[in-house]
């Protein structure tokens, strides 16, 4: 059982009840704030004895004075045989108003505490409090994992509007919800007598018998030494019971006073359990601390948003799974395909593989990896496994490895294909675990394990070609990526570079249309993005997007990409032919492993050619003046020095700390970007030793060359690129 499963199913099952508890809790949290504002101020040094004199003079037949947590003083008395409760002013004892708790407030409180069901409802509320505790802990763990660690718990939130709402409200809700759940459990246990809240026994004391008249409350030494601000309750001795005593309760303890002599008969310090219960009450209700009550109210009011956005995300994830047509029953199928996918995208690849085998006359069965087993007719088995987070299984496949270990091994080979993101150290780690489990059990395989980076259709097609060759049959994998809704972007400007070797390049800047809150909630238009994310462009007549790294962020107010025209390139040719005022259809794909997200440590940016685009975006967004050092390689400064004028301006603005260039096709140009690294080796070692992070963007051969050079440079300080990747300090965006 994983945190994701706990969070998902508890959220779905108990989320509606949590919403009721959150809304009623938010309403009740307003009471301490209102009561604090309404309470008459109490002088800091006012003795309880003086208060007794003032109240006794204003109200006859007083039985009890209570000081509420918000500071209001309520006097309980009898007037002509009728019980009364009145709020008084401590300054003079006059009556301010009758004390009548709102019936609506009482109803809301009963709904919150017991669902209007008495003791049975209190037991149910305790059960839901436990469920909320597990839900909040699971949500907190997932939030920390999603944002990249505890130190990033307050990092900027990315993704769609619904995702951002869920994460932001989660930050508000989860810690407070966890605390509220713990305190609710404690209070429930105290209600049913499972936990003591006060001293076990009270002293057996009575007022001394005699004909002496009762001493006025203003003359009692114990009350003269107590301040009203410390008072909780003062009970007057009953006139009909000559042995009855004065009883005073404070946060520090309880005292009993002889009604005739004024002698303190007994004093009992507050037990530790009482102090604990007082703190539990304060943390759960906010009574007595209005600022904390406001925090509780905001958290409670956020729960409907939190649960509603989570429900929408769950619904969206369910609908990402495509419907498999021509899905044969497992016992009759000769090809089995098992899928492990967290967000449903891997099912698109499974659908393409399934359809290709069906076209070739095979009977194919596809299902989730949690259903893994080999039917009698199976001749080939495939596992398409995505990796979640730091190497974990998708939620539905959490127990798949144990199931694999229980299945009898057959002659049918099992081929594993992994899906992941190379930006993360645990790239395809779950697929590797599945493959290792199969080989340990003795399953054969047709092809070795291969990993697909960022749902690459090209890599998948190449794997399909290798599969067809291994099977000895013609197999065409017609994979069409599930493209998210696109937005029309208007071209507003372009910068053209002639390039060299017949490869012109252009920097295109687009703007997007304004959208209202309904569009945002429905997920229409562009989500918030940062430099380093990807722009998926849909060229006319094609459903296959081409991806370009973004040189801008959402806050810049425009979308900017750098595009080199490829010979015969459908999308690059279309983009190069655009004129100002024309539109494209595009969408944003997040690239979280590459983003900087407001890093404050020094940053080394290494790029070549058009790969400098996201690095330029990082520098453009560096409003905090974090030290950024750019190492940039291209061919000829007169032909393809992209963002050259901008770099000079950013140097002047201190958004860029230093610029190191290499031009490979000009005399004395400095060679390649790897050569700039070698020339600056001493400072590179110093920066890395100071905790610098590294971002590399460009072609795969360039990235491999940079890795080799940096490994040589960092070897002197016992570091390597692989170690930096494992620590989250090194990421690549390569093509």
pLDDT band at 210; cut points 50, 70, 90? confident
Query: Which segment, 73-82, 211-220, 286-295, 689-698, is predicted with the most confidence on average?
Result: 689-698
Give the dihedral sign, CA 215/218/222/224.
negative
Comparing 254-268, 503-517, 587-601, the range with the smallest average pLDDT is: 587-601
Question: 505 and 405 in one domain?
Answer: no
CB 437 within 8 A of CB 403: no
Shortest CA distance to 553 belongs to which of 583, 514, 597, 515? Answer: 597
Q: Are strands 95-98 and 380-386 parallel, antiparallel or unpaired?
A: unpaired
How far is 668 from 671, CA to CA, in rounded Å? 8
Whether the per-residue pLDDT at 600 is higher than 80: the answer is no
Query: Which residues partner with 339 through β-bridges?
Result: 368, 384
Q: Which residues of 138-160 are buried (b: 16+ CB within 10 A; e: fewer)?
A: bbbbbbeebbeeeeeeeeebbbb
Whether the per-residue pLDDT at 1 is higher than 50: the answer is no
Question: 183 and 120 in one domain?
Answer: yes
CB 480 within 8 A of CB 544: yes
Question: 218 and 289 in one domain?
Answer: no
Comparing 308-322, 355-369, 456-470, the range with the smallest average pLDDT is: 308-322
Question: 82 and 127 in one domain?
Answer: no
Question: 212 and 185 in one domain?
Answer: no
Q: What is the mean pLDDT of residues 630-657?
A: 94
How far is 272 from 493, CA to CA, in rounded Å? 71
How far is 663 from 636, CA to CA, in rounded Å? 6
CATH code, domain with 522: 2.40.30.10
Task: Cite the beta strand spans of 323-462 per DSSP E.
Answer: 335-340, 364-368, 380-386, 414-420, 450-453
Comparing 98-107, 180-189, 320-329, 667-676, the range with the smallest average pLDDT is: 320-329
Question: Mean pLDDT, the chain, as a whole number?
Answer: 87
Question: 610 and 519 in one domain?
Answer: no
The token duo for 342 is 């967290």
The token duo for 220 is 């009692």
pLDDT band at 581; cut points 50, 70, 90? very high
Residue 481 lies in a domain: no
Report field, pTM of the whole predicted structure over 0.75: no
Comparing 81-85, 446-450, 582-586, 615-619, the range with the smallest average pLDDT is: 81-85
CATH code, domain with 432: 3.40.50.360
CATH code, domain with 691: 3.40.50.80
Q: Which residue has the tokens 């005593």?
A: 245
Give the dihedral sign, CA 75/77/80/81.
positive
Residue-wise pLDDT for 16-61, tens only, equals 777 787 888 888 888 888 888 888 888 878 999 999 999 999 898 8
Residue 477 lies in a domain: no
Question: 290 and 355 in one domain?
Answer: no
- 429, 446, 471: which is the final residue of a domain? 471
| Residue with more model confidence, 602 or 592 | 602
Residue 100 lies in a domain: no
Shortest CA distance to 381 belongs to which of 365, 404, 395? Answer: 365
Whether the per-residue pLDDT at 694 is higher than 60: the answer is yes
> Torsion over CA of 714, 718, 722 and 726, rounded to 10 degrees?
-120
Whether the per-residue pLDDT at 554 is higher than 50: the answer is yes
Residue 694 lies in a domain: yes
Question: 660 and 551 in one domain?
Answer: no
Query: What is the DSSP code (8-state) at residue 735?
Result: -
How far is 185 from 235, CA to CA, in rounded Å? 31
241-245: which pairs have CB atoms within 8 A and are 24 or more residues apart? Answer: 242/207, 242/209, 243/206, 243/207, 243/209, 244/206, 244/207, 245/205, 245/206, 245/207
pLDDT band at 522; cut points 50, 70, 90? low
How far is 586 from 272, CA to CA, in rounded Å? 64
Residue 636 lies in a domain: yes
pLDDT of residue 136: 74
Half-sphere exposure of 520 (CA within 13 A, CB side): 11
- Percent of residues, the chain, with pLDDT higher than 90: 48
Question: 399 and 286 in one domain?
Answer: no
Q: What is the mean pLDDT of residues 604-631?
A: 95
599: three-class secondary structure by DSSP:
coil
Residue 596 lies in a domain: no
| Residue with more model confidence, 377 or 522 | 377
CB 234 within 8 A of CB 64: yes
Give the dihedral sign, CA 296/302/307/313.
negative
Q: Which residue has the tokens 């099977």?
A: 471
416: three-class secondary structure by DSSP:
strand
298: three-class secondary structure by DSSP:
helix
Shortest CA distance to 468 belongs to which of 307, 356, 568? Answer: 356
Residue 712 lies in a domain: yes
How far is 710 from 701, CA to CA, in rounded Å? 14
Count CB neighbours of 225 within 10 A: 11
For residue 64, the enclosing domain spans: 41-90+202-270
Whether the per-residue pLDDT at 521 is higher than 60: the answer is no
pLDDT band at 598; cut points 50, 70, 90? low
pLDDT of residue 679: 95
The token duo for 249 is 């309760």
Q: What is the mean pLDDT of residues 82-110?
A: 88
Question: 256 and 283 in one domain?
Answer: no
- 444, 471, 498: which is the final residue of a domain? 471
Question: 720 and 653 in one domain?
Answer: yes
Number of domains forming the structure of the chain? 5
Q: Which residue has the tokens 């700039």?
A: 676
CB 534 within 8 A of CB 525: no
Residue 660 lies in a domain: yes
Q: Give every CB contact of residue 354 below 8 A, 6+ residues apart in sequence.
A: 324, 326, 327, 337, 364, 366
* Phi, psi values for residue 115, rounded to 5°: 55, 30
Residue-wise pLDDT for 126-174, tens only, equals 887 787 777 777 777 776 766 656 666 666 665 566 777 777 777 777 7
* Phi, psi values for residue 625, rounded to 5°: 60, 40
- 210, 244, 270: which is the final residue of a domain? 270
Question: 611 and 629 in one domain?
Answer: yes
């Amino acid at each position: 059982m994983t945190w994701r499963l706990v969070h998902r199913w508890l959220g779905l099952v108990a989320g509606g009840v949590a919403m009721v508890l959150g809304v009623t809790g938010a309403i009740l949290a307003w009471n301490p704030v209102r009561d604090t504002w309404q309470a008459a101020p109490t002088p800091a040094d006012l003795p309880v004895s003086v208060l007794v004199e003032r109240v006794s003079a204003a109200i006859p037949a007083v039985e009890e004075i209570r000081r509420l947590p918000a500071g209001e003083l309520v006097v309980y008395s009898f007037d002509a045989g009728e019980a009364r409760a009145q709020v008084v002013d401590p300054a003079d004892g006059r009556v301010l108003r009758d004390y009548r708790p709102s019936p609506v407030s009482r109803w809301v409180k009963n709904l919150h505490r017991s669902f209007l069901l008495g003791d049975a409802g209190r037991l149910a509320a305790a059960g839901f409090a436990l469920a909320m505790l597990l839900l909040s802990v699971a949500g907190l763990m997932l939030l920390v994992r999603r944002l990249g660690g505890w130190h990033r718990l307050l990092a900027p939130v990315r993704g769609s509007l619904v995702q951002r709402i869920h994460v932001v409200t989660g930050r508000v809700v989860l810690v407070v919800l966890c605390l509220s759940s713990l305190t609710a459990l404690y209070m429930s246990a105290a209600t049913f007598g499972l936990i003591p809240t006060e001293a076990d026994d009270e002293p057996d004391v009575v007022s001394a018998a005699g004909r002496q008249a009762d001493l006025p409350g203003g003359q009692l030494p114990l009350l003269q030494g107590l301040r009203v601000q410390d008072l909780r309750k003062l009970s007057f001795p009953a006139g009909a019971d000559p042995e009855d005593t004065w009883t005073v309760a404070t946060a520090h303890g309880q005292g009993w006073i002889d009604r005739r002599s004024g002698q303190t008969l007994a004093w009992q310090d507050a037990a530790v359990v009482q102090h604990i219960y007082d703190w539990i009450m304060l943390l759960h209700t906010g009574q007595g601390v209005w600022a904390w009550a406001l925090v509780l109210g905001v958290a409670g009011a956020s729960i409907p948003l939190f649960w509603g956005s989570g429900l929408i995300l769950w619904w969206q994830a369910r609908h990402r799974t495509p419907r498999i047509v021509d899905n044969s029953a497992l016992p009759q199928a000769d090809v089995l395909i098992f899928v492990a996918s967290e967000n449903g995208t891997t099912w698109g690849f499974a659908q393409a593989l399934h359809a290709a085998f069906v076209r070739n006359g095979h009977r194919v069965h596809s299902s989730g990896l949690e259903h893994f087993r080999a039917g009698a007719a199976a001749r080939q088995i495939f596992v398409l496994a995505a990796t979640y987070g730091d190497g974990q299984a998708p939620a539905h496949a959490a127990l798949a490895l144990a199931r694999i270990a229980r299945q009898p091994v057959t002659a049918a080979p099992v081929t594993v294909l992994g899906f992941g993101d190379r930006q993360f150290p645990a790239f395809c780690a779950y697929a590797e675990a599945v493959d290792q489990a199969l080989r340990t059990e003795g399953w054969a395989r047709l092809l070795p394990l291969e990993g697909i980076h960022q749902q690459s259709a090209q890599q998948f097609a190449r794997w399909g070609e290798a599969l067809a060759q291994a099977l000895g049959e013609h197999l065409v994998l017609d994979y069409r990526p599930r493209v998210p809704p696109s937005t029309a972007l208007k071209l507003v400007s372009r910068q053209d570079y002639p390039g060299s070797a017949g490869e012109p390049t252009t920097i295109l800047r687009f703007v997007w249309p304004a959208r209202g809150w309904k569009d945002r909630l429905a997920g229409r238009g562009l989500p918030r993005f940062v430099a380093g994310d990807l722009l998926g462009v849909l060229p006319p007549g094609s459903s296959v997007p081409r991806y370009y790294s973004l040189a801008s962020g959402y806050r810049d107010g425009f979308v900017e990409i750098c595009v080199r025209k490829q010979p015969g390139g459908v999308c690059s040719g279309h983009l190069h032919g655009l004129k100002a005022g024309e539109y494209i259809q595009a969408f944003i794909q997040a690239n979280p492993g590459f983003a900087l997200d407001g890093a404050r440590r020094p940053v080394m940016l290494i790029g070549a050619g058009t790969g400098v685009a996201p690095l330029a975006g990082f520098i453009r967004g560096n409003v905090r003046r974090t030290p950024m050092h750019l190492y940039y390689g291209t061919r000829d400064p007169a032909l393809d020095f992209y963002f050259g004028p901008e770099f000079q301006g950013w140097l002047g603005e201190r958004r860029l700390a230093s610029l190191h260039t290499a031009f490979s096709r000009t005399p004395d140009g400095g060679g390649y970007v790897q050569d700039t690294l070698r020339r600056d080796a001493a400072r590179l070692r110093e920066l890395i030793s100071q905790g610098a992070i590294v971002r590399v963007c460009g072609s795969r051969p360039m990235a491999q060359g940079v890795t080799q050079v940096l490994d040589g440079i960092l070897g002197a300080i016992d570091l390597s690129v692989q170690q930096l990747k494992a620590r989250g300090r090194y990421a690549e965006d390569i093509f």
